[in-house]
Amino acid sequence: MKITEKIDEIRNIVSEWRAAGLSVGLVPTMGFLHEGHKSLIERAVSSNDRVIVSDFVNPMQFGPSEDLGSYPRDLDQDEKLCESAGADVIFHPAPSEMYNDDFSSFVDMTTLTGGLCGRTRPIHFRGVCTVITKLLNITTPDRAYFGQKDAQQLAVIMHMVSDLNFDTEIIGCPSIREADGLAKSSRNTYLSANERAAATILSKALGEGRAMLGSAVTSGSPVTADAITATIRKVIESEPLAKIDYVEAVSWPGLEPIETADGPLLCAVAVYIGKTRLIDNFISE
Site residues (CB under 6 A) for ligand AMP?
29-30, 36-37, 39-40, 146-147, 149-150, 173, 175-176, 183-186
Note if 159 is an active site residue. no
The DSSP bridge pattern shows strands 143-147 and 169-173 to be: parallel
Closest contact distance (angstroms) between CB of 151 and ligand AMP is: 8
113 vs 231, which CB is nearer to ligand AMP? 113
What amino acid occupies position 55? D
Query: In the bound complex, what is the minimum distance in angstroms from residue 212's beta carbon to ligand AMP?
Result: 24
Min dist CB 44 to ligand AMP, Å, is 11
For 49, residues 6+ apart whose C-beta sits below 8 A from its C-beta are 17, 22, 23, 24
Which three-class secondary structure string do you get for 177-191? ECCCCCECCHHHHHC
Shortest distance, CB of residue 183 to ligand AMP, whole angstroms?
A: 5
Q: For residue 60, what are the contacts with CB-CB under 8 A and spacing of at least 6?
A: 99, 123, 126, 127, 130, 131
Q: Which amino acid is at 6?
A: K
* 269, 117 contact by CB (below 8 A): no
**Residue closer to ligand AMP (CB basis): 146 or 282:** 146
Q: Which of 34, 37, 124, 159 is catalytic?
A: 37
Q: Of 39 and 229, which CB lies nearer to ligand AMP in the complex structure?
A: 39
Amino acid at 241: L
Phi, psi of 65 (to 5 degrees): -100, 15
Instruction: Give the β-pairing of 50-55 and 24-29.
Output: parallel
Task: Rank residues 14 and 135 by Cβ distance to ligand AMP and give the closer one.
Answer: 135
Q: Of the two residues 55 and 195, which places its CB atom closer to ligand AMP in the complex?
A: 55
Q: CB of residue 171 vs ligand AMP: minimum separation in angstroms?
A: 10
Instruction: Tell how far CA 198 is from the center of its chain.
Output: 22
Question: What is the distance between the alpha carbons of residues 227 and 258, in angstroms, rounded to a whole number?
Answer: 12
Residues that are catalytic? 37
